Structure 1
Amino acid sequence: MKTVSIAIIRHSVTEWNEQNRIQGHMDSPLTKYGRELAASWRDTLDPATFDAVLTSDLGRAVETASIITEGFQLPALKMPGLREQDWGEWSGLTTDELQEKFPGKLDKEIAKGWMFRPNSGESRIETSERGIRALEEGAAKLSEIVNKDHIKVLAVVHEGVLKTIIYKLAGHDFSADKPKLVKRRRVHWLKWNGTLSIDRLNDIL
């Protein structure tokens, strides 16, 4: 069985990130700062050491990966299962607009932990299940494409799906009294050799 090491990161800064607007399955392009930030990650990640790329099929993840791996012809798979959590009716709203349109609803959902679900959207548990399935399917496909016993893959996804994947693998939950496992703008290492597991978390980008 081949081993796949997966460096998983969140996409860089988008226009809607700067507006504090919920993206979910909707999309917005990287800002000028976001493109510069993604380019700066090349020094840490060293794209020459990767064998392949996995991304969500949303533009902000694909663009981030393209900037990091520019100049390298790496096999790449776009996986819809790696999309951000679906925020349903809340997609496209700023957090202020969300509070105005659905007073108190966000806090009530946050208190549900794994069962947090935006109106007409996905729960965190549903997001984690399809995210893990997509990573495992992507790793299996790349193990057939890349002729190496130990394959190194860059995965560019979204904050919500990244957190739910890692929390599920770690047996962690989203309770307010539990420490946060995932720090911002870090690279996290997962391993696949038939099943997915955590190698290490929160390396500095």
Structure 2
Amino acid sequence: MKTVSLAIIRHSVTEWNEQNRIQGHMDSPLTAYGRELAAGWRQTIDPSSFDAVITSDLGRAIETADIITEGLKLPALRLKGLREQDWGSWSGLTTDELHARFPGRLDAEIAKGWKFRPDEGESRMEASSRGISSLQEGAVEIARMVDKKEPRVLVVVHEGIMKTIIYKLANHDFKADKPKLIKRRRLHWLKWDGTLSIDRLNETL
């Protein structure tokens, strides 16, 4: 059986990121700074070392991957199952607007750890389940497509779904008294060899 190496990163900075606006399944384009940042990652990621690309089907993930792999003709999968956690009716709000409209609700949900669920959205556990399933299905497809024993895949997704995938694989919780596993703007390596597992985390971009 093949072993697929998966290098997973969060998309670059978007317009809504700079406004502290919740995106979820909604979308906004990268800023000029976000595009510049993604272009800089080419130096450390070395896109020519990859055999394929996996992203969510949202524009900000696709745009980031396209910038990093510019000039390369890598097979790419765009998977709906790797979208950000669905924030339901909170999507499109800034965090200040959310606190003003629903005082205490965000903090109360955050305290629930894996059971965190925005109004009319999905829980972290639900997001993790479909994210892991989608990433595994993507790895299987890449193993079929790429004629190498150990294909290397660049995966560009979203902070929330990335955390739920990695935290689930690590059997880790989101509670405030638990250490954070993932540092900001880092490259994380997973592997698939019939099952999905963590290889190493938090390489510098």
| Structure-2-length-normalised TM-score | 1.00
1:76 aligns with 2:79: no
* CA displacement at 1:73 relative to structure 2: 0.3
1:183 aligns with 2:183: yes
Match of 2:34 in 1: 34
Match of 2:165 in 1: 165
1:124-177: per-residue Cα shift (whole Å, max 9, x none)?
000000000011000000100000000000000000000000000000001111
AA of the residue aligned to 1:161: I
Q: Please give the secondary structure, in 2, of the residue aligned with 1:21.
A: coil
Match of 2:200 in 1: 200
What is the percentage of aligned positions where both structures have the same residue?
75
- Residue correspondence of structure 1 range 89-100 to structure 2 within 5 A: 89-100=89-100
* CA displacement at 1:106 relative to structure 2: 0.3
- Residue correspondence of structure 1 range 118-157 to structure 2 within 5 A: 118-157=118-157
1:107 aligns with 2:107: yes
Match of 2:54 in 1: 54
* CA displacement at 1:57 relative to structure 2: 0.1
AA of the residue aligned to 1:168: K
Q: Please give the secondary structure, in 1, of the residue aligned with 2:200.
A: strand
* CA displacement at 1:109 relative to structure 2: 0.3
Match of 1:44 in 2: 44
For 2:139 and 2:154, the matched residues in 1 are separated by 11
Q: Please give the secondary structure, in 1, of the residue aligned with 2:147.
A: coil
1:97-122: per-residue Cα shift (whole Å, max 9, x none)?
00111111001100100000000001
AA of the residue aligned to 2:143: S
For 1:99 and 1:54, the matched residues in 2 are separated by 34
Q: Please give the secondary structure, in 2, of the residue aligned with 1:8.
A: strand
Q: Please give the secondary structure, in 1, of the residue aligned with 2:151.
A: strand
For 1:170 and 1:79, the matched residues in 2 are separated by 23
Q: Which runs of 5+ in 2 are unaligned?
A: none
For 2:177 and 2:108, the matched residues in 1 are separated by 16
Q: Please give the secondary structure, in 1, of the residue aligned with 2:8.
A: strand
For 2:140 and 2:59, the matched residues in 1 are separated by 23
AA of the residue aligned to 1:97: E
Q: Please give the secondary structure, in 2, of the residue aligned with 1:187.
A: strand
Match of 1:88 in 2: 88
Q: Please give the secondary structure, in 2, of the residue aligned with 1:190.
A: strand
The root-mean-square deviation of aligned C-alpha atoms, in Å, is 0.3
* CA displacement at 1:87 relative to structure 2: 0.2
For 1:48 and 1:174, the matched residues in 2 are separated by 35
For 1:183 and 1:7, the matched residues in 2 are separated by 15
